[in-house]
Structure formats: C-alpha cells, structure tokens
C-alpha cells in the first residue's frame, strides 16, 4: 500500500481553468510592413511588379500629361464609360491590362524607356539591344578547357587534365590531393598520370594556375618571366617569410645580397607576379550600387536637399472598377468577396509602401541634419550618432531604424555610402567635442600616412599623438583600428 500511495502522489493532474494574460502578436499587415520597410530600391521594384501582376485591385496612378484637345476628348470618353463596360474589360483582359499599365509607367528603370507591345520597329530595337549586350565572361574552368582541347596529349593524360582543371579553386590553386581526384574519376586515375597531367596544366594561361601553394605559384610565374631572376628565386624559395614580414636585413645577411638588390627584386616581384592568377580570368567587377536616397546642395549651396531616388515612390492606388464591385448588389456574392479580398490586400500594400517612404525620408533628413559636417568635409566630419537616439526622437523602436537603413545607400556630395555608415558610436575629446569612431580611424590613417617610412610610428606612438589631441584610446583599440584599416605593423611598413 505504501508503494502504491507513493506512485499516486507522483502522478500528474489536469485541471481546466481560465487565465488572463497580455500578449503581443504581429499582425500579417505589420509583418508585411516590416518586410517592405527593409527592402532596398531594387527589391521594392520587384515586389511592386509582382503585386501588380497578382492583385487585380492594385494599379499605378496615371501621371498627368500635357493638356491638349485630343487628351481632353480621350479623358471625357473615359469618364463616360459605364460600370458595365469597365467590368467587361476587367473580366476579359485584367491581367493583360495590369501588365501593360506597369510597363507603360516608367517605374525607375534607369535609362530604359517604357516598354510597349508590338512588332516591327519595337521588336527590331529589342533584338538589337540583345545583340549589343555584353555576353557572360568565361569562367576559369571554361578558359582552361578551351586551351586543354588543343593539347596533343591523349588518353589517360587528357582525362586526368580535365579532372585537375575541374578541381581548381576560383583563384587557380589546386588544393585537392591527388588521391581524392583519382578516387572520384571514373575509371580511377593513377598518381603518375595525374602528375604528368598537372605539369601540362601548369603550362596553360594564366601562368601560375595549378599550383599547390604560394611558393609553387610564384615560381611558375617566375620561370615564365624573362631576364635574370636568381635573386627573386632565392627569396621565394628560402626567405618568403622574411619578405612578408619585412625582415629584409635578415634576408640580406642570409643570402649575401645587399638591401638595395633585395629591394629591387621585391619591386620586380610586385610588378610581375600575382598571388591569385585565377582571378585574372572572368568578370570580377563589383555590382552597381543603386542609391535609395539622394542628398544634394540646394541652389544657393547652403542648405541640403533630401529626396528619394526614383523607384522608391511608386504612386499606387486601388482600382475604382474593382472597389465598386464590393458595393454592386447585382454582382454575385463570390465576385464581391473576391473584390473585397483584392482591395484589402492592395490597401495593405499601399499602406506599407507609403510607410516605408515616409520613414526613409524621416531617417535620411535626420542623418543630413546630424551629420552636416560630413557632407561638407567628408568622413573626418562624422559625429556620434546612434540609432537608439534617433529612435527616441521618432518615437519608435531602434529595430525600426535598423530595418529602415538595412541594405540601403545614400548618394551624397562626397560619394555613395551605406546608410548604416552614418550611425556610429564614438568618444569625446578633452574639449567636449564628439568624435565618431570612423573619424578616429581616419585620424589614425592620417598619422600613419604622414610618418617617416624609415622610422614608422608604432601603436604606442599613435596613442601618444592622439592623446595630445585630446583623444584617449588604449593601445589595443589603436591596434584594432589599424587592422580594420588593413595597415601593417610598424616593422612591416619600414623601408630600408
């Protein structure tokens, strides 16, 4: 009995009850609004295009055209249409009209004009544009395969060369072991065949591909370079670490060459050799950045004008013919319900786009006001400006500010910058002036650029110089900023 009672005391019980508690739940409209808020201009255009195609109640408002007799007659004719005629047109060609309306209104497509249907000249212009469009650049593998197809080796060596080329990294290095390449090949390849094929692959252009480490890559390029390369070869084979860390006196003592000869050899290597030859093939250009906000000087040159770039301001509205269906008692119930859903969805999209527009303008104007010195003098004028401070001013959460500036760029007189760039912490000088961290970094860069290269300043020297200007930083902070600026150590910067 004692054991049974113990088991019963350890059991669970279920009790029904009512409890009151407060919970915050995100509505679908709020989730949609936050998603649209953080979209950059290109993504916003794609989103609006998809919404126009999928929602029968959404359209872009007609832009005002110059008044003329023909325009007046056309406008009058449009106004005199009956609701039945509009519904008939909507019923048979709704999707086609939505697509045409979107294409006919230039929603910031850059230099491209509005696209219209039709053949003849329009089609010929499109074909000509496609013919003049630059083709995709060949990849490293494609570039090497074109050369490999002309190699006289046949049989196993040719197959092994193709396997090696397919295993090269984008920078041209072979970082996969022979045994793995041989195992993945069908049928398997021998190590001897792979070694023979690798020697042939290493003769292809660009010179240096197929190397298994940096030393082999540089030596392959050096072998193909004209002239006497004895000093360069010695430095690469035996003293590459000394060169990287700028220990030139140690290399001079070990090799017997003078500092002048070693300096000339290093200059020659920098101009002729490439650490990543594979990157010399193909298009590695940086994608074009489209600014979301434009800040420019006014006509007088004193005030700053802030405006949204084209594409951020799609003038959306609900179609009158679709909204009228909701009140049309002569229409079927399913039709009225469909129209209501479409209108509700279109209204949510319009509200979210308008909220994004107003919030982005508010944030951009605040940036222009707080960081005015930046627009006049560049990065050295950046001041302390935190998202939390702006959120307090706009009576919103800091996460809203973060979403507003996410992946968005601002075009300014000094250049194009990410909007996040203008939000920075910082410190105060002894005079009480606020100085952003980016401005401090710029000052570190200026100190290093002005140093005596024969006796460069170290991190302790930079700390001392900043303290004289009223900026109190630790040595560790200076070292961190130097690394972020890709500035080598003082020993590596020293010239002999």
- Read off the pLDDT band of 283 (50, 70, 90): low
**Percent of the residues in the chain that have a pLDDT greater than 70, as a whole number:** 76
Statement to judge: residues 196 and 240 lie in one domain: no
Among the residues of 25-174, which ranges form H helices?
A: 28-37, 41-54, 69-79, 83-104, 121-132, 140-148, 156-166
Residue 239 lies in a domain: yes
What is the predicted pLDDT for the residue at 98? 33
Residue 412 lies in a domain: no
Q: Lowest mean pLDDT: which of 8-22, 295-309, 354-368, 376-390?
A: 8-22
Residue 39 lies in a domain: no
| 286: alpha, beta or left? (left if phi > 0; alpha if psi -120 to 50) | beta
Place of tokens 């929602």: 55
Which structural domain range is residue 474 located in? 425-496
Statement to judge: residues 217 and 244 lie in one domain: yes
What is the predicted pLDDT for the residue at 39? 87
Residue 174 lies in a domain: yes
Given a cut of 70, whether residue 366 has pLDDT beyond it is yes
What are the residues whose beta carbons fall under 8 Å from the beta carbon of 166, sequence distance 6 or more? Answer: 141
Task: Give Cα separations from 28 to 25, 31, 33, 38, 401 (angstroms).
Answer: 10, 5, 9, 16, 20
- Residue 424 exposed, middle or buried by CB count within 10 Å (0-12, 13-18, 19+): buried
Q: Which of 247, 265, 281 is the last residue of a domain?
A: 281
Given a cut of 80, whether residue 125 has pLDDT beyond it is no
254, 234 Cβ separation under 8 angstroms: no
Residue 362 lies in a domain: no
User: Residue 145: which CATH number?
Assistant: 1.10.10.1330
Other beta carbons within 10 angstroms of residue 90's beta carbon come to: 17
Statement to judge: residues 231 and 190 lie in one domain: no
Total domains in the chain come to 3
What is the predicted pLDDT for the residue at 104? 41
Task: Give Cα separations from 265 to 131, 248, 273, 400 (angstroms).
Answer: 47, 11, 11, 55
Mean of the per-residue pLDDT values of the chain: 77
User: Once rounded to an integer, what is the mean pLDDT over residues 260-287?
Assistant: 83
Task: Give Cα separations from 304 to 5, 136, 295 (angstroms).
Answer: 82, 41, 7
Given a cut of 80, whether residue 305 has pLDDT beyond it is yes
Place of tokens 């101009």: 271
pTM over the 0.85 mark = no
Statement to judge: residues 206 and 222 lie in one domain: no
Given a cut of 80, whether residue 102 has pLDDT beyond it is no
Measured distance CA(221)–CA(243) in Å, rounded: 18
What are the residues whose beta carbons fall under 8 Å from the beta carbon of 362, sequence distance 6 or more? Answer: 394
Q: Is 429 helix (H, G, I), strand (E, B) or coil?
A: coil
Statement to judge: residues 153 and 198 lie in one domain: yes
User: Once rounded to an integer, what is the mean pLDDT over residues 146-170?
Assistant: 85
CA neighbor of 237 nearest in space, from 264, 213, 267, 204 = 213
Q: Which of 193, 211, 229 is the last residue of a domain?
A: 211
Measured distance CA(304)–CA(167) in Å, rounded: 54
Residue 57 lies in a domain: no
CA neighbor of 97 nearest in space, from 62, 136, 134 = 62
209, 140 Cβ separation under 8 angstroms: yes
Q: Lowest mean pLDDT: which of 97-106, 373-382, 410-419?
A: 97-106
Statement to judge: residues 174 and 241 lie in one domain: no
Taking only the tens place, the pLDDT of each residue in 68-84 is: 444 443 343 343 344 34
User: Once rounded to an integer, what is the mean pLDDT over residues 230-255?
Assistant: 88
Measured distance CA(434)–CA(476) in Å, rounded: 21
Kindly calculate the radius of gyration of the chain based on its CA atoms and give it in whole angstroms.
34
Statement to judge: residues 204 and 217 lie in one domain: no
User: Residue 434: which CATH number?
Assistant: 1.10.10.60
What is the predicted pLDDT for the residue at 97? 40
383, 373 Cβ separation under 8 angstroms: yes
- Read off the pLDDT band of 486 (50, 70, 90): confident
User: Once rounded to an integer, what is the mean pLDDT over residues 372-379?
Assistant: 82
Q: Is 78 or 362 the better-scoring residue by pLDDT?
A: 362
State the DSSP code for 282: S
Q: Which token pair is 407?
A: 């992946």
Statement to judge: residues 201 and 229 lie in one domain: no
Residue 188 lies in a domain: yes
Q: Which token pair is 317?
A: 């509205």
Residue 78 lies in a domain: no
Q: Which of 195, 211, 227 is the last residue of a domain?
A: 211
Q: Which token pair is 223?
A: 């072998």
Other beta carbons within 10 angstroms of residue 284's beta carbon come to: 9
């Amino acid at each position: 009995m004692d054991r049974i009672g113990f088991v019963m005391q350890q059991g669970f019980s279920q009790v029904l009850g009512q409890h009151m508690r407060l919970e915050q739940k995100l509505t679908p409209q709020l989730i949609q609004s936050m998603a649209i808020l953080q979209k950059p201009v290109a993504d916003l255009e794609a989103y609006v295009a998809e919404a126009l195609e999928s929602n029968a109640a959404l359209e872009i408002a007609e832009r005002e055209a110059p008044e003329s007799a023909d325009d007046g007659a056309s406008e009058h004719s449009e106004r005199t249409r009956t609701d039945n005629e509009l519904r008939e047109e909507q019923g048979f060609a709704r999707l086609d009209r939505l697509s045409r309306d979107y294409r006919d209104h230039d929603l910031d497509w850059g230099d491209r004009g509005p696209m219209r249907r039709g053949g003849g000249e329009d089609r010929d212009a499109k074909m000509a544009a496609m013919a003049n469009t630059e083709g995709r650049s060949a990849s490293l593998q494609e570039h090497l395969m074109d050369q490999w197809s002309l190699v006289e080796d046949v049989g196993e060596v040719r197959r092994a060369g193709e396997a090696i080329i397919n295993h090269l990294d984008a920078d041209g290095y072979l970082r996969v072991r022979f045994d793995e390449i041989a195992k993945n090949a069908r049928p398997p390849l021998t190590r001897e065949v792979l070694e023979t094929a690798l020697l042939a692959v290493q003769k292809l252009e660009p010179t240096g591909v197929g190397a298994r480490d940096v030393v082999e890559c540089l030596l392959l390029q050096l072998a193909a370079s004209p002239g006497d390369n004895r000093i360069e070869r010695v430095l690469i084979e035996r003293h590459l670490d000394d060169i990287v860390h700028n220990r030139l006196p140690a290399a001079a003592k070990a090799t017997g060459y003078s500092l002048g000869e070693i300096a000339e050899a290093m200059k020659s290597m920098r101009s002729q050799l490439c650490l990543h030859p594979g990157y010399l093939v193909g298009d590695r250009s940086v994608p074009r950045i489209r600014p979301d906000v434009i800040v420019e000087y006014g006509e007088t040159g004193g005030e700053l004008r802030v405006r949204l770039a084209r594409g951020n301001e799609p003038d959306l509205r609900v179609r009158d013919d679709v909204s009228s269906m909701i009140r049309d008692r002569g229409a079927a119930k399913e039709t009225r319900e469909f129209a209501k859903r479409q209108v509700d969805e279109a209204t949510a999209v319009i509200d979210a786009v308008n909220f994004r527009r107003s919030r982005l303008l508010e944030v951009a104007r605040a940036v222009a006001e707080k960081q005015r010195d930046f627009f006049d003098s560049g990065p050295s004028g950046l001041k302390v400006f935190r998202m939390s401070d702006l959120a307090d001013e706009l009576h919103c959460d800091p996460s809203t500010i973060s979403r507003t500036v996410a992946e968005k760029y601002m075009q300014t007189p000094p250049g194009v910058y990410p909007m996040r760039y203008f939000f920075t912490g910082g410190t105060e000088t002894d005079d009480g002036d606020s100085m952003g961290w980016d401005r401090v970094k710029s000052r570190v860069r200026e100190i290093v650029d002005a140093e005596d290269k024969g006796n460069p300043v170290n991190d302790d020297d930079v700390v001392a110089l900043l303290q004289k200007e009223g900026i109190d930083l630790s040595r560790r902070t200076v070292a961190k900023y130097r690394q972020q600026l890709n500035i080598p150590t003082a020993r590596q910067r020293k010239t002999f």
